[in-house]
Structure 1
C-alpha cells in the first residue's frame, strides 16, 4: 500500500479555532524575523519574512546556548505548566501549522526556529497570542525543497521531537512534565501514566468517504510512526491528522479511509483492537508482529 503517497492529501481536515485572530486587537504589535540575529533561510539570499503578532514585544537572546528569558524565571515545580505541542495539517493550506504553549514562559523561540530550519524547513510566519495566563505560539512551516507542507510522517515525528528537545533544553523545568524528560531532561517525571489506563481509541464515521480515528495514549518517542505502520499493515489510508502532545499524553486525531470509503464496523473494530494491543505493549519488538 502506498501509504506515503496517501498521507495528508485529503480535501478535508479538522477545523481549528484555538488561535483567535491576533490582528483584531489594536494593541497588538508586529515585527519581522529579518530584524533578528540569524538567517532563517540558509542558502537563500532573501531575508526571513516571518511575522509575529503578540500582546507585548519581548525578544530574548541566547547566552552560551541558553535563552535569557529562561534564566530569570522561577523554577517552582508546583507551578510548572503543562507543555503542549500540536502539529496540524490543513489541506486548504500549503503550510503545516505547529503550535506550542508552555504557560507564559516561552521566549522568542529563535533557537527552536533555527532547529526547524536545520531540518530543511522554512518558517514562513508566526503568531503569538495570549489567552489568560497562557501564551501560545504558532508557526507555519513548509519544506524548503518543495515550498509545501510536510507530508512525511517520519519528518513530522522529527519536528515534534525537535521542538520537545529544545523546550527541555531552554526550559529545563519542563522535563518533569514531558515523557522525553526521562531521557533528556534534568528531572524525570515523578509519575508516568499507566499505558493501559491512559490508552483510549475511538473511530467515528465522517460521512461515507472517511472516518475519524482518535488515539489517546502515553507519549513516547516514535509513537506516530507506530500508529501509521499499524494502519498501513491493514491497508488503511491516512488522509490528514492533528498530532497533539499534552505533557505526558499524546492525543492524535487521524482522518482515514479504506479504498476511498469510510471504515465499516468490522474494519473499525480490527483497527481499534490492533492499536490497543500494540500501544499497550510498548516493549513489543517491531519484528515480533
Structure 2
C-alpha cells in the first residue's frame, strides 16, 4: 500500500457551492408551497441530501499532518497539504502525524559479544514518510516502532563487546558510540520501512554493566588504570636514574663501579616508584 493523492477542491469554493445549493433548496421549497408541484418538492429533497453529503466532505489538514481516506472499505488516497478542503463525502479519515517523534527505549538487559550481561538503552528519532503504509501495513505504527527498536537494539548490542580491553576488536559499545549508533540506525531503517517510517537518528543513551558483574568489572578497570599508571612511573623513573648516573659520570663527581651503580639504581628506583615516602640513609663512611 502506497500513498496517492486524494481528490480535493478548495474548501471555500465548497462553501460557496454549499450556499448556492442551499439557496436552490429554499427556492424549491418556496415554489412547492406556492404551487404544490411535486417536481419542486423532489428537487428540494434532493438538494437537502446533497447539502448533507457536502457537509461530510469538508476537512481541515493541519501543518505536518496527513489524513488517509477510505470509502466503504476501499482506500481512496491521502491529503498531506495543509488547509481547508472539500473531498469525497462519507469517507472515513484516519489522521497521521508527520512530525518528528523521539522516544527513549526501556533499559534492556542483554549479553554483549563476549557474553557479559550489560544494560543498554537508546533514543530513537523518527517520522512517518508514507502515511498509507503506517495505517494499513501495520496494526499500530507507534507500537511497531517501539517493539522493533528494542529488537534492533538487542541485535546490535550482541554484535559488539562492551569494552575493547585488549584491543581485540575494532569497535566496542563504550568507545565507539557513533559507529554503533550508525549501525543501529541502518538496522532500524530496514526493520521499519515496512511501516512507512524513516529513522532520522538512533543513539545509545545508557550503557552499563549489569549489577551482578558491575563490581568485578570496576575492579578490572581500576587494575588496568593502576597498571597503566605504574608503567608511566617506571618509564619515568628509569629515565631519571639514567640521567642521574650519566650526569655524575660526565661531571666527574664520583666514580662508581658496577656494584655501586647497581646499588644506586636500586635505591633510586625504590625511592621513586614506592607509594610511600622513603627514609634517606646517610652513608658516613667507615669509622675505622
Q: TM-score normalized by structure 1? A: 0.20
Structure possessing the higher radius of gyration over alpha carbons: 2
More strand per residue: 1 or 2?
Answer: 1
Q: TM-score normalized by structure 2? A: 0.20
